[in-house]
Chain A
């Protein structure tokens, strides 16, 4: 499951000199990196370092101030890019789950793909059941979000994103709002996804997940990528003083 050494595998996202400012606050400062198909990359770093902002720039939930983000070779920062079509390619999972409170589980899964004509209602339902079965929640298809535990909600949020057949899955601290006993069930689903070859970018505080599941880890601090290395190397031989002190605090 570790690093994929095959360099022929195509690059799916390339970020060049990405900068993001909120008013005068420089949150991302000249970030350049790239992600390959099937790669699983963790993003770690101190609070306020810009991890969420980085992730949100990738699906244009934030508009980059300058720089370029190539997805499948197209710069999505250019004018004229269909933002909604781009977002269909990028599944997003939130810390707070954000399941639609006014819909039951099956509706949560099928509403967007059916509305966006990705599939018919029957196809969506069939796909929904298949995916729910895979995360062990087939029996919850008629439940409403308030009837579910945090871990169940997050597994369903992952399924909801998968319904769109995304090319990349973005996770923003998917286990941070969970009670400890529910973290495992969500990480298991993510681990399976990684094993199936999904391209994943995961902002996380779960250092074990970063080390064991992701092939590469980025350390983002103060808007800079301080280190960007294969995960084992980053955790076993941290170089920058900031990373060393960060790891001392969290491990």
Chain B
């Protein structure tokens, strides 16, 4: 009981602190998934390209970013790159812009690798006979892709992208280590002020869970809607 009372006390006193953290967590996650999806689509195309060097590069990228910790990628971009003269500019009207950019870039590059695999497997899950039939009618590879394969692949891809967003929300907590004021960073701040370690962390866990649970329900709902329309 004491435990819950403390949590409520923390929330009422530092609520706007947490709220700002949630906002930043969502902004970074959303940007990472949007950029990750755009880049990931291109990466998936490169990964399936007929041009060997391009395919090889894309495969190397995907394997590398999936095979190393996001924490390493993030700190490398934020601390490592400026040492070789690459750093993100500061903008006067957005505080901590370069920090924020480093976080978004690292998260996007990382998400790109996962999304590329989601898109590739979504496309490859479509029966090759579909493309074959399109080509036999005289349609080009591109026409077969846009008219026949992608509309079917999208039904595999969209739910997986939703899940990727959920993963990114959780993973984004690492950006707190470079000082971005996300939910985890704010939690640490409140923890340091109140010394209620357990209660602060429990609050963070509950908020993260509410976020991911809500989105996973949304994804499941969207998935059901799509399956409702047509079966394959």
Contacts and interface: CB of A to CB of B under 8 A. Distances in A.
Contacts of A157: 133
Interface in B189-214: none
Nearest to B151: A102
B90 interface: no
A161 B152 CA distance: 21
A112 B139 contact: yes
Interface residues of A, number: 27
Contact of B148 (A59, A87, A92, A100): A100
Given A102-B148, A102-B151, A102-B230, A87 B129 contact: no
B137 interface: yes
A101 B140 CA distance: 18
A102 B152 contact: yes
Contact of A94 (B132, B138, B140, B151): B132
Nearest to B232: A101
Given A100-B130, A102-B230, A61 B137 contact: no
B134 interface: yes
Given A101-B130, A112-B139, 14 more contacts: A61-B135, A85-B138, A87-B136, A87-B138, A94-B132, A98-B133, A100-B133, A100-B148, A101-B230, A102-B152, A102-B232, A103-B148, A112-B137, A116-B138
Q: Which 3 A-B pairs have the closest CB atoms?
A: A98-B133, A88-B138, A112-B137
27 contacts: A84-B138, A84-B139, A85-B138, A87-B136, A87-B137, A91-B136, A92-B133, A92-B136, A94-B129, A94-B133, A98-B133, A99-B133, A100-B130, A100-B134, A100-B148, A102-B148, A102-B151, A102-B232, A103-B148, A111-B147, A115-B139, A115-B147, A146-B232, A157-B133, A160-B137, A161-B137, A164-B138
